[in-house]
Chains A and B, each alone.
Chain A
Amino acid sequence: MIQNNQIASAYSPPFRIVAKYFIAAIISFVIFNLLLTLNYEDISGHHFQPKILSVTHIATLGFITMIIFGAMFQLVPVVLEVKLFSTILAEVQFWIFSLGIILLVYKFWHFGSALSFTLPAVLLNTAMLIFSVNIIASMVKVKKWNLTGTYLASSIFWLLTTAVAGLLLSINLDTPFIKLNHLQYLKLHVITAFVGWVGMVVMGVSFKLIPMFTLSHDYKLNLANWAVALINIGLLGVNWIMHYPDTQFYNVIFGSVIFAGMLLYLIQISVIFRKRIRKKLDVGLKFTAISLFILGITTLLNFSFLFFNYENVINLTLVYGILFLVGFASTLIVGQMYKIVPFLVWYHKYSSKVGIEKVPMLKDMFNEKLAEYHLYLMISGLVISIISLSFQLKVLLLFGFSILLISSIIFSFNMIKIFRS
């Protein structure tokens, strides 16, 4: 028998670090839903519109990236059995990152204000660089590398690419210098952010967490190996050709490579789900399963975008944006938070009491019934919003966004309950 007495939990960073990122993300999530609701009338025109960009960055930076940072500080040490390089850097990064988000969101909202775009972009790049250094310095000490590590290392490369592209776009907004079309670089910024950063993290972590939660066994990860290779090749190709004009042909080739990689991932994850031993999905896993189904839809939409000019189709970019940000990313994150946050709080508050006094089960730390209502409301809000955006039904859009707002408040109520339990 191979002995392994290493205690992975001993590698975990202090609770206050991860909690800070998670709480900031929950606040951003509610603000994101609130701003969607308050500005439903603006969210129907062209996507390259300041207020939409402001709202998008609350979601992508304040909610999604914030939560990924917090989760990675927790998961990288546990999954790769290594200590986080520096908790001080994680702390410093939090404040620089938060300030960067507030300033960027403010600047997009008040487009004509005196504040430059470059300042928030520099702050955000600094925070992301600190994050990358911290994680890479932790990763170099890893003794046993695994597939999740490959996905996470790739995600960091694409995070930095996204950040640099964002910085160049910001400088260009202050002092135009990009010779090619600004929107072409914007496209690069979005693809690397969605597929390279968010996608790679989600995929890598899912191979670890989903089998752990569903007790899936007896499957191979061959497709996952192919998926990471194809997606990286496709993204490198897309990043290369975006610097040249007239790239339609190569765009189709590299876009198709990414599509093939995503498809392999989706097949792989459905195999893991099918091989699960816990047949009944709890609320966290219901969110997860639905979000992965929506990822399938957005993947197909992305593939179709290679063959026609979607920017001319009314609101398709917005429909895609809402599907990705709310349907896939937010649904997945809130689902995983129903699994991870109770564990974090349990570990922080009760692990020293196990065996001495009665400790709660994780599912007892929040109101599961309320979480189920949250799920139904979030999905109905999403469907109504997508229909309203597709057919330009403004009043119905307000209704859809209001349902999403209510669902986000229920979610934060449940999260507060977990933190206070």
Chain B
Amino acid sequence: MTSKITKEKITDILRTVIDPEIGINIVDLGLVYDINISENNIDITMTLTTPGCPMHGSITNWVKRIIEMTIPDISVNVNLVWEPKWTPDKMSEEAKLQLGM
């Protein structure tokens, strides 16, 4: 079953996770660093814009839950990392435009 799961599909699911303060999804914000798919297991490596952001419990739970709900029988592990540090360059062009950059 994991053969049908692609990074693109996971990325599309993650686009539905929107930072409630900024109003932009975590993929376009450049917060998702890596998606690793193995048998029945997905490892997501991601960051947040600021260390100590009080949202981080919610957002990591959100990521885990949305993938597990969309793809049955899969286990998701979210690794929150602070290195490499998030920079604005990691944002997509649309996100930059939306923020007025």
A residues engaging B (CB < 8 A)? 1-5, 7-10, 12, 74, 78-79, 81, 208, 211-213, 215, 217-218, 277-280, 339, 343, 346-347, 351, 354-356, 359-363
Let me know if A78 and B50 touch, CB within 8 A: no
Within 8 A of A (CB), among B20-50: 20-23, 33, 45, 49-50
Q: Which residues of A contact B20 (CB under 8 A)?
A: 343, 346, 359-362
B3 on the A face (CB < 8 A): no
Let me know if B100 and A354 touch, CB within 8 A: no
Q: Which residues of B contact A279 (CB under 8 A)?
A: 99-101
B79 on the A face (CB < 8 A): yes
Let me know if B23 and A3 touch, CB within 8 A: no
Let me know if A7 and B60 touch, CB within 8 A: yes
Let me know if A355 and B56 touch, CB within 8 A: no
Q: Closest CB of chain B to A273's CB: distance in Å? A: 14
Let me know if B82 and A4 touch, CB within 8 A: yes
Let me know if A5 and B52 touch, CB within 8 A: no
Let me know if A212 and B53 touch, CB within 8 A: yes
In the complex, which residue of chain B has the Cβ closest to the Cβ of A340? B54
In the complex, which residue of chain A has the Cβ closest to the Cβ of B78? A5
The 4 closest A-B pairs by CB, nearest first: A9-B57, A355-B65, A279-B100, A354-B62
Interface size on B, residues (CB 8 A): 36
Let me know if A10 and B88 touch, CB within 8 A: no
Let me know if A8 and B54 touch, CB within 8 A: yes
Known contacts being A212-B49, A280-B100, A354-B62, is A9 close to B21, with CB within 8 Å? no
Q: Which residues of B contact A3 (CB under 8 A)?
A: 79-81
Q: Closest CB of chain A to B101's CB: distance in Å? A: 6
Q: Which residues of A contact B84 (CB under 8 A)?
A: 1
The residue from A74, A343, A354 contacting B21, defined by CB atoms under 8 A apart: A343
Q: Which residues of A contact B88 (CB under 8 A)?
A: 215, 217, 277
Give the complex CA separation of A148 and B49 in angstroms.
18
Q: Which residues of B contact A2 (CB under 8 A)?
A: 81-83
B2 on the A face (CB < 8 A): no
In the complex, which residue of chain A has the Cβ closest to the Cβ of B29? A215
Q: Which residues of A contact B87 (CB under 8 A)?
A: 217-218
B74 on the A face (CB < 8 A): no
Give the complex CA separation of A175 and B56 in angstroms.
54
Q: Closest CB of chain A to B42's CB: distance in Å? A: 15
Q: List 23 A-B contacts (CB under 8 A).
A: A3-B80, A7-B57, A8-B52, A8-B54, A9-B55, A9-B56, A12-B54, A208-B52, A212-B50, A213-B21, A215-B22, A215-B49, A217-B87, A217-B88, A278-B22, A279-B100, A351-B57, A354-B59, A354-B62, A355-B61, A355-B66, A360-B20, A361-B18
Let me know if A363 and B58 touch, CB within 8 A: no
Q: Closest CB of chain A to B93's CB: distance in Å? A: 14
Q: Closest CB of chain B to A289's CB: distance in Å? A: 16
Q: Which residues of A contact B69 (CB under 8 A)?
A: 355-356
Give the complex CA separation of A8 and B59 in angstroms.
12
Give the complex CA separation of A351 and B59 in angstroms.
8
